[in-house]
Amino acid sequence: MLQALTFATSVAFLRSPSVLRDGLWSAFHAERERWVLWLPVALGIGISIYFGLPEEPVWFTGAVLLGISCAGLIAVRRGASLRLLMVLALFAATGFAAAQWRTVSVAAPVLADAQLNAVVAGRVVSVEPAARGPRVVLDQVSITGTDTGPPARIPDRLRLRLRATDAGVRPGDRLRVRARLSPPPDASFPGGYNFSRAAWFARIGAVGFALAPADISPDTRDGGAITRFRSAIERARVDIATRIADGIGGPAGGVAAALATGQRGEIPEHVHDDMRDSGLAHLLAISGLHLGLVAGFVFALVRGGFALWPRAALGWPLKKIAAVTALGAAAIYLMLAGATIPTQRAFAMTAIVLVAILINRTGISLRLVAWAAMIILVLRPEALLSVSFQMSFAAVIALVAAYEGLGGRFRRAAATSPWARRVWMYFAAVAFSSLVASLATAPFAVFHFNRFAPMGLAANLLAVPITALWVMPMEVLALLLMPLGLEGLVLPALGWGVETVLWVARTVASWPGAAITVAQPSVAGMIAVAAGGLWLCLWRRRWRYAGVPLVILGLATAGHEDPPDILISGNAGLIAVRADTGAAHLSNLQASPFVRDIWQRRLGVVAFLPFDAGLSCDALGCTGTVRGRAIAVVANAHGFEEECRRAVILISGEPIPRSCTGPAVAIGRFDVWRSGAHAVWLSDDGQPVRVWHARERNPGRPWMRAPLTPSRRAASGPDN
């Protein structure tokens, strides 16, 4: 008997792999209607592979991969699983080819000089108003008035910060100004946001700021119908933002203008901080919530208005008329909002929903999200790397997946409930949606910003209904009345609503523990989080829950990578030193707020301390010991004589003399001028010092810049 039982157990164990395989295939085949949802995932994998390569592939690589995958799909005639793999490979190759083509198609000259004082002239493409002065993008650029002659490569576009006195500049104007120019900045932190890559795809080859007031004049040239249309749209955006901001005033006016046009330059920094720390920052980024509310309000307004006319109510297809009108309103709002990534995704989804109404189809599904993702990824593959794409799609996918099972219950319960209970159900739905969206976007917020807002549920529970029922309807009415000059009738009410939202943000942000600084997961960990989240949301059967351990495993990688011990900014104007106690000391607590904020979040510290709080400082500089190594930050050239003999790590904003050969690592002004920002890792076990710098000696991608060579900077200053 025992032998028979042992034999049966052995047979079952030997057969278990095939049983498991058959069970998995059966479950997989049962969800064949969900297979299409993985096509944009394959598209994204191909795009990720392209952008993850250390070197730029040869120009025909994408076309070859596309041809091979097409041939393989044609050749495979049997085997559903193999054909499915070939379809996924085809979409991955399409993503790779689309990313490579996009990179080549947007190629434009980039300023080669580290810094350049010149007279810049060009046509204003876009304007972002701000209190410090408008930020403009110019095309048709000319650069003159330099000491060393015109640059070898003149950018097609450049971005400038003008003086506050130039606030009257408008898109389409001609502009001439003396400015200081530099190439788009590199990353200020290892693995951090790389503006040079974003600028490459925006065809921006230089950035800078005005040194004097600009000479502004109307453009009398005929640039063609498309150019005139784009200028008209940009002018409308600036005019609308100005009229709303001036009509309401204060921070509320800046927020209301941002909700209408997407231009956030008028919003004070403390408001940004409150919105971020309270978990309401998504309200400032025009996305599905805003565009859906605009389209829904216009749909209800048109349908309800015509329903009051008996002839229209009885004989006209009001639902389809309202859908067409709402689609037009959504398209106008898309253009006014600047067509950002979240707005494009929201418009694509809204357009599909409204077109479905026209052909008598209803329902929002993950297929709709998949189509929106594929449209954006094919047209703008670089969007996959942006935080706006990742967070907006994470929230939408999670919400649609959650409501696939619960949406019907909510609708049935609401249809049979009295109005008082419907109100409570609405707030319950808002709370549930906020919870789902917060959980879905939290890993990406932690990865990109090292911030987590645990009080966001409470803030969204109060602010989202106010935005949906008060702020956005008033916003739409203001836009409709603006051509008649009557927006002043609703701007006060709009301002009250925005003030209420800001009060919620300010109150929640002031609570203890409202915003927590946390260590970011590794890149591999985020890949695991994304894969687990997609597995959880895109399938419907119980095997979907296998994605949860993958998400947990990815999040567990947070804090496993040691932050740098020393950071030096790209102009050597900011230096941070992380002491053995974990405290971080900064050379200047006022300079470079953008870089300072990135460093603070990446190092995981609540605030920086001044140098003299942890280092020994005098008029010549500061010295100290980190992980058993003597470091010196020299502020005056007279300090080199002593510190070059004593220090192991020497850093200075001054050029380091050639005779300074004692330190193991010496980083001076021309090192950062040549190679960008630096990061230094020290170790306790005697391992060699590891140094990272923003510009690689052999840059493998077109948006990366090589270090400046001595011959290129001979006219700019001496060598180290």
Using one digit for the tens of pLDDT, what is the confidence trace for 290-344? 777 788 888 888 888 888 888 887 788 888 888 889 888 888 888 888 777 667 7
More confident residue, 16 or 660: 660
More confident residue, 151 or 180: 180
**Contact by Cβ (8 Å): 86, 52:** no
Tell me, yes or no, whether 91 and 148 share the same domain: no
Judge whether 229 lies within some domain: no
Residue 177 sits at φ, ψ, to 5 deg, of -155, 150
Distance separating alpha carbons of residues 126 and 648, to the nearest angstrom: 49
Tell me, yes or no, whether 535 and 626 share the same domain: no
**Contact by Cβ (8 Å): 517, 450:** yes
Q: Which of 63-67, 72-76, 369-373 has maximum average pLDDT?
A: 63-67
Tell me, yes or no, whether 124 and 271 share the same domain: no
Residue 294, Cβ neighbours under 10 Å: how many?
A: 28
Do the bridges between strand 215-217 and strand 609-610 make them parallel or antiparallel, or are there none, so unpaired?
unpaired
Residue 13 pLDDT level (bands cut at 50, 70, 90): very low
Distance separating alpha carbons of residues 34 and 543, to the nearest angstrom: 14
Tell me, yes or no, whether 540 and 656 share the same domain: no
Distance separating alpha carbons of residues 46 and 458, to the nearest angstrom: 39
Lowest mean per-residue pLDDT among 99-103, 413-417, 546-550:
413-417
Judge whether 126 lies within some domain: yes
| Number of domains comprising the chain | 6
């006219």: which residue's tokens? 715
Average pLDDT across the chain, whole number = 83
Residue 130, Cβ neighbours under 10 Å: how many?
A: 18
More confident residue, 227 or 11: 227
Residue 412 pLDDT level (bands cut at 50, 70, 90): low
Tell me, yes or no, whether 377 and 512 share the same domain: yes
Report the 3 state secondary structure along 426-487.
HHHHHHHHHHHHHHHHHHHHHHHHCEECCCHHHHHHHHHHHHHHHHHHHHHHHHHHHHHCCH
Tell me, yes or no, whether 246 and 296 share the same domain: yes
pTM: 0.84
Judge whether 718 lies within some domain: no
Judge whether 716 lies within some domain: no
- AA identity, residue 530: A
H or E element that contains 233 = helix 225-248
**Contact by Cβ (8 Å): 321, 302:** yes
39-67, pLDDT tens digit by residue? 999 999 999 999 999 889 998 999 999 99
Tell me, yes or no, whether 167 and 187 share the same domain: yes
Tell me, yes or no, whether 212 and 351 share the same domain: no
Burial of residue 289 (number of CB atoms within 10 Å: 0-12, 13-18, 19+) = buried
Tell me, yes or no, whether 20 and 71 share the same domain: no
Domain limits for position 623: 566-693
Lowest mean per-residue pLDDT among 92-106, 446-460, 522-536:
446-460
Tell me, yes or no, whether 58 and 19 share the same domain: no
| pLDDT tops 70 at residue 382 | yes
Judge whether 655 lies within some domain: yes
Question: Which of 367, 356, 368, 245 has its CA nearest to residue 299?
Answer: 356
Judge whether 707 lies within some domain: no
Q: How far is CA 353 from the centre of its chain?
A: 26
State the pLDDT at residue 408: 61
Which among 190, 221, 252 is the end of a domain?
221
102-156, pLDDT tens digit by residue? 999 999 999 887 678 899 999 998 888 887 889 999 988 999 877 777 787 889 9
Judge whether 597 lies within some domain: yes
Judge whether 712 lies within some domain: no
| pLDDT tops 70 at residue 346 | yes
How many CA atoms, within 13 angstroms, populate the side-chain half-sphere of residue 575? Answer: 27
| pLDDT tops 90 at residue 93 | yes
Tell me, yes or no, whether 546 and 651 share the same domain: no
Burial 662-684 (b: 16+ CB within 10 A, else e): ebebbbbbbbbbbbbbbbbbbee
Lowest mean per-residue pLDDT among 20-29, 144-153, 614-623, 699-708:
20-29
Tell me, yes or no, whether 47 and 122 share the same domain: no
Which residues sit opposite 122 in a β-bridge? 175
